[in-house]
Amino acid sequence: MEQTVTQRSFLDSLSIKLRNNVPATIVIGLSIVLALVIAVKTGPAQLANVIVTGGMWALLAAGLALVFGVMNIPHFAHGESFMVGTYVGYFVFTPLNNYLKDNPNGLLAFLAPMIGVVAAMLVGAILGAVLERLIFAPLRKRTRVGWVMNTFLLTVGLSFVLINGTTLVLGPNFRGIPRYYNVPPLEFLGMRIAVDRIFAFVIAIISIAVLTWFMQRTRTGRAIRAVAQDETGAQLVGINLGFIHTLTFSLATAMAAMAGAALLFMFQAYPTVGLKPLYFAWYVVMLVGLGNVYGAIVGGFIVALLQTATQQFIGIAWEDVVPTVVMILILILIPSGIFGSEVKGIQEQ
């Protein structure tokens, strides 16, 4: 009962937003047209591709939006959280896989990728908490002047350090796995979809659902939203700001790391693997408006659609150029994104 009420109010607010929001309607309308064109021209397999990639971009972008919405940090090192996830996934899954080669075990073979993803989530959560305590908490203590810009540059430095630190420790080599599930692709509505893709999509959907539930239904989730709305007010009612900030950052990092581990079969693990996911996560948040978590989920699919369309119709070399140009247009025409962002301090210099 409770669940349906939330559902309806979310859909309601979405439809109201759409009715009052011409840009969003145009963008979503164009996306649907684009999806139909892809489906007709290249077959529904590409649409499945859009859905899988879109789920992952959504997961990444939701973390980015969360960090911006709650802490006002434009997180440039989000791709590096993804990178950490791919490494954890690799280092957990490979030994398990080797073990499985000697002693076949159906249950473990089924669970092994999930163990990798969960390990990545845990490492991401710890990494996020440590980074927040080490970097952002001291800065917040020192000054809040020019916070958005300063933290942006800080995360730029952080990304630089993480990429080069990884190169230093693990070397620049590529570490990849051929596939997670060694089973033939599923036949579905006449398309063949690799089980790995379904796995990645399921991970994305579960994570997004858990995140939504957590934000809407739990006390801590409400506290996070309260901090996003009004920091002083949240503090007045007894919310521990430091804890919420650390938790938020940890959550976002964990989600990105999960995405990294879940997509290990597509992206190999190497130091700069995070750049492309970072670009796409930023396209999403710029499209829907910085700090808009639910918008980011919708936006993830729109950007994935744009990406796939570019790959199919223009060429794979242009896959970051065309979305970039579209996002530049979006920034010129509607800098606050198609769903708008209701974030404090967004107009800060």
Partner 1 sequence: MNNENRFWNRLTAGLGTIGFTPLGLVLLVILAVLPFIPPFNQEHILRWLIMGAFLAAQAVAFDFTAGYINVVNFGFAAILGVGAYTSAILVNTSPVLMVQPGLSPWVGIWLGALLAGLVGLGLGILTLRLRGIFAAVMAWFVGIALMGLVRNLTDLTRGPLGMAPRTFLETTSNRPYFYIILAMLLVVYITLKLVTRSNFGLAFKAIGQNFDAARASGINPTYYRVFNFTLSAFFAGWLGGFYAHYFGALTPQTLMHTSKTVEVLALAYIGGRGSLWGGMAIAFPFVFFIEFLRSNLTELPGLHLVIYGVLMIMVMIYYPAGLAGLYDWAKAKLVSTFSRGKGQGAEA
* Residues contributing to the site for partner 1 (CB under 8 A): 74, 135, 138-139, 142-143, 148-150, 152-154, 156-161, 163-165, 167-168, 171-172, 279, 282, 286, 290, 315, 317-318, 320-321, 324-325, 327-328, 331-332, 335, 347-349
CB of 343 to partner 1, least distance (A): 11
With beta carbons less than 8 A apart as the criterion, state whether 297 and 58 touch. yes
CB of 349 to partner 1, least distance (A): 5
Q: Give the 3-state DSSP-derived string for the chain, with helices as H, strands as E and coil as C.
A: CHHHHHHHHHHHHHHHHHHHCHHHHHHHHHHHHHHHHHHHHHCHHHHHHHHHHHHHHHHHHHHHHHHHHHHCCCCCCHHHHHHHHHHHHHHHHHHHHHHHHHCCCHHHHHHHHHHHHHHHHHHHHHHHHHHHHHHHHHHHHHCCCCHHHHHHHHHHHHHHHHHHHHHHHHCCCCECCCCCCCCCCEEECCEEECHHHHHHHHHHHHHHHHHHHHHHHCHHHHHHHHHHHCHHHHHHCCCCHHHHHHHHHHHHHHHHHHHHHHCCCCCCECCCCCHHHHHHHHHHHHHHCCCCHHHHHHHHHHHHHHHHHHHHHCCHHHCCHHHHHHHHHHHHHCCCCCCCCCCCCCCCC
CB of 173 to partner 1, least distance (A): 12
Q: Closest Cα partner for 200 from 265, 271, 275, 256?
A: 265
Name which of 193 and 287 has its Cβ closer to partner 1: 287
CB of 115 to partner 1, least distance (A): 30
CB of 1 to partner 1, least distance (A): 42
CB of 345 to partner 1, least distance (A): 10
With beta carbons less than 8 A apart as the criterion, state whether 53 and 311 touch. no
Name which of 48 and 148 has its Cβ closer to partner 1: 148
CB of 324 to partner 1, least distance (A): 4
Name which of 59 and 286 has its Cβ closer to partner 1: 286
Name which of 74 and 85 has its Cβ closer to partner 1: 74
Q: Compute the distance between CA of residue 30 and CA of residue 16 in angstroms, rounded to an integer.
A: 19
Name which of 95 and 335 has its Cβ closer to partner 1: 335
CB of 83 to partner 1, least distance (A): 14
CB of 263 to partner 1, least distance (A): 21
Name which of 71 and 92 has its Cβ closer to partner 1: 71
Name which of 49 and 336 has its Cβ closer to partner 1: 336
Name which of 64 and 125 has its Cβ closer to partner 1: 64
Q: Compute the distance between CA of residue 69 and CA of residue 67 in angstroms, rounded to an integer.
A: 6
